[in-house]
Amino acid sequence: MSLKTFVGSLAAGAKSLGAVLAVTGMTIGLSVIPQPAQADAGFQRWVAQFRSVAQQNGISNATFDRAFQGVTAPDPDVLRLASNQPEFNAPVWQYFDNQINDQSIAVGRQMASRHSRLLDQIEQRFGVDRHIVLAIWSIESRYGEALNNPSIVRNIVRSLSTLAYADQRRQRFGSQQLIAALKIVQNGDIDVANLTGSWAGAMGHTQFIPTSYQEWAVDMDGNGRRDIWNSIPDALGSAANLLRRNGWSPGHAWGYEVRLPEGRKFPAGTMSLSQWQSIGVVRANGQAYPRPGDTAELKVLEGRDGPAFLVLHNFNMLKRYNNSDRYALAVGLLADQIAGQPQLARDWNRPFTRLSFDETQELQRHLLTRGYYDGNIDGRIGPASREAIKAFQSRMGMSADGHPSKEVLSRIRGQ
């Protein structure tokens, strides 16, 4: 589970997952960091002082020494990433294009077939639909692919120590998660060498931070350890357990795409689906609402220019995993696509013609070959890809908007 789900709750002194950080809170700046030589000495003093904190929380000296072996300085990449998260300011369509595409859907269907028995067990034990679990797996780690990327995977002890030592806004979070990580090692679920995760401490296939791991991770494969790094059963079972224990309603939908009638405003807050229907808000596919008494809220991330949704109780349970409307919608929509449901009746309002996943990779390869880009060929458009596109567009006398459009691909193919 990602950092943005928990930082706000920690700052408020709340244990509940319901008290979570809004997306904009993750773009805050950092405290001033000492020069490297001083930082190393200061960091070592901090580690020595933190030992007593660990001891007070039941961490043995042997565990502490194993965990901090080789951790001698803060990780500057963690500080850089913590202060610069442009994805939260990206256009809505960009977020959904990166998460829901022909590749993520196709691989999701492959995984549904490959792990069908496991997914049967998860549905029976936790009551969470298999396609929801697969969608979470895709968005959190690209079905585990991200765990093999050395530019993403980091030493959790060093990452969390860096936050606790050098980032004033996240010191409490870093310290609390570091204690939880040390307890994971001490309990024997994973050894220090394999205690890896993101810069913010999110771990394994389903990206649990250490406190989430402690509360909701399960031993689904029955080997006596809760290994969300190497055991797909443990990782997917843990994600389902988090949802179920936070109130997931088995057999219920997360929400529906809807059509809005022209020429009227809509009330804020929740009403029953039958009440929404009475004012003209109907399902986009023309079908009836299966449970018209269920309470729903209207979500329009792009206003009337984009798709509209009535979201239900389980949508809010997805936000317990990550407190973001974008995230919860992406999980729900990707799950629907993996399950074979049709695409959105009204697509996101892109100012260009969208590329397929393979075409996006082709564009990245062209940009790399021509020296505009030095990132991964991953079919996902992030800041580095946008800057490369802008550079190419400027060179060609095009409008430098950074959009991965059919026009840009066609132009670069001709070079």
229, 245, 261: which is the final residue of a domain? 245
Classify residue 168: in a domain, yes or no: yes
User: β-strands 196-197, 154-155: how paired?
Assistant: antiparallel
* Mean per-residue pLDDT, 103-129: 98
245, 266, 283: which is the final residue of a domain? 245
Q: What is the DSSP letter of 308?
A: E
Nearest to 64 by CA among 79, 42, 49: 49
Cβ proximity of 56 and 44 under 8 Å? no
Classify residue 391: in a domain, yes or no: yes
The pLDDT, as a whole number, for residue 103 is 96
Q: How many CB atoms lie within 10 A of CB 305?
A: 10
Classify residue 226: in a domain, yes or no: yes
Classify residue 313: in a domain, yes or no: no
pLDDT band at 81 (very low <50, low <70, confident <90, very high): confident
Classify residue 324: in a domain, yes or no: no
- Integer CA distances (angstroms), 89 to 26, 95, 322, 329, 382, in order: 11, 10, 17, 17, 11
In sequence order, what DSSP letters do the residues of 183-223 get, joined into one string? HHHHHTSS-GGG-EE-TT--BTTTTB-HHHHHHH---TT-S
336 vs 300: CA distance, rounded Å = 18
The pLDDT, as a whole number, for residue 202 is 96
Is residue 53 located within the same domain as residue 177? yes
* Mean per-residue pLDDT, 161-190: 95
The pLDDT, as a whole number, for residue 85 is 59
For the chain, the domain total comes to 2
Classify residue 322: in a domain, yes or no: no
The pLDDT, as a whole number, for residue 87 is 53
The pLDDT, as a whole number, for residue 215 is 97
Nearest to 253 by CA among 331, 321, 306: 331
Q: Is residue 402's pLDDT more than 70?
A: yes
**Cα-atom radius of gyration of the chain, to the nearest Å?**
23
Q: Is residue 263's pLDDT more than 90?
A: no
Classify residue 61: in a domain, yes or no: yes
CATH number at residue 30: 1.10.8.350
Burial class (CB in 10 A: 0-12, 13-18, 19+), 49: exposed
245, 262, 282: which is the final residue of a domain? 245
The SS3 of residue 358 is helix
Comparison of pLDDT for 99 and 24, the residue scoring more:
99
* Mean per-residue pLDDT, 181-186: 97
Domain that holds residue 403: 357-413
Summarised one tens digit per residue, pLDDT across range 196-253 is 999 999 999 999 999 999 999 999 999 999 999 999 999 999 999 999 999 999 999 9
pLDDT band at 145 (very low <50, low <70, confident <90, very high): very high
Q: At what angle do helices 232-245 and 313-321 cross, to 10 degrees?
A: 130
Classify residue 172: in a domain, yes or no: yes
Length of the chain: 415
Comparison of pLDDT for 18 and 334, the residue scoring more:
334
Summarised one tens digit per residue, pLDDT across range 22-74 is 222 332 233 333 334 344 789 999 999 999 999 999 999 999 999 999 999 99
Nearest to 102 by CA among 413, 410, 327, 379: 379
pLDDT band at 156 (very low <50, low <70, confident <90, very high): very high
**What is the sign of the dihedral through the CA atoms of 335, 341, 342 and 347?**
negative
